Amino acid sequence: MSFAIAIDGPAASGKGTIARALAVYFGFHHLDTGLLYRATGVRGGDPVQAAQSLTAEDLTRDDLRSAGAGQAASRVAAIPEVRAALFDFQRRFAAREPGAVLDGRDIGTVICPDAEVKLYVIASDEIRAQRRAAELGADPAEMLLQLQERDRRDSERATAPLRPADDAVVLDTSDLAIDQAIAIAIEIVDKAWNRRLL
């Protein structure tokens, strides 16, 4: 039986780094669900058709980590038909053996509401802007405005808004080194894994 880990949170909170580390540590599959929306957004044209015809090759594009791709992802993610087209793909991935780690914005609330572990990773707006600016070589002040605009759009959308699941563990990485955040996440997953073995 598969073991699902759902990791949600706003951009540049550290959720992707934590998700990849957990997947490696536990030998699980990993899906950055944001890439599905980024790939859909940068393909252009009709977003619903783009989502329905998405291929594995689309997820390997070099431009998917750009700020523009992030904004495009946020726009298409607000379209219910796009979310529906990508829903089954994510659900199937979450059921992969021996386990799967999915990170995004609605994993614990919509995609995997029965996940064994749900983490909601946050950090202050300023810290997130500094991280994303360093990653992209951009201006922190401009990044702050972009992140706040994206947070507002993601949180206010009618379909699958960004919010923690009721039973999610909130992990604030504002004052943590990445190794510390990963260690805390591993401890949380270990406890859930051990409970399952009892």
**Angle (CA) 90 51 31, round 5°:** 30
**Residues that constitute the known binding site:** 9-17
Q: Which segments are annotated as binding site for ATP? A: 9-17
For residues 119 and 108, what is the distance between their CA atoms, to the nearest angstrom? Answer: 8
- Identify the helix (H) or strand (E) that includes residue 6: strand 3-8
Which two structure tokens, joined as six digits, stand for 145?
Answer: 């405005």
Cα–Cα distance between 137 and 119 in angstroms, integer? 28
Amino acid at 63: D
For helices 125-136 and 140-156, angle between their N-to-C axes, nearest 10 degrees: 120
CA 10 to chain centre: 8
- Taking the CA atoms of 177, 72, 139 and 150 in sequence, report the sign of the dihedral they define: negative
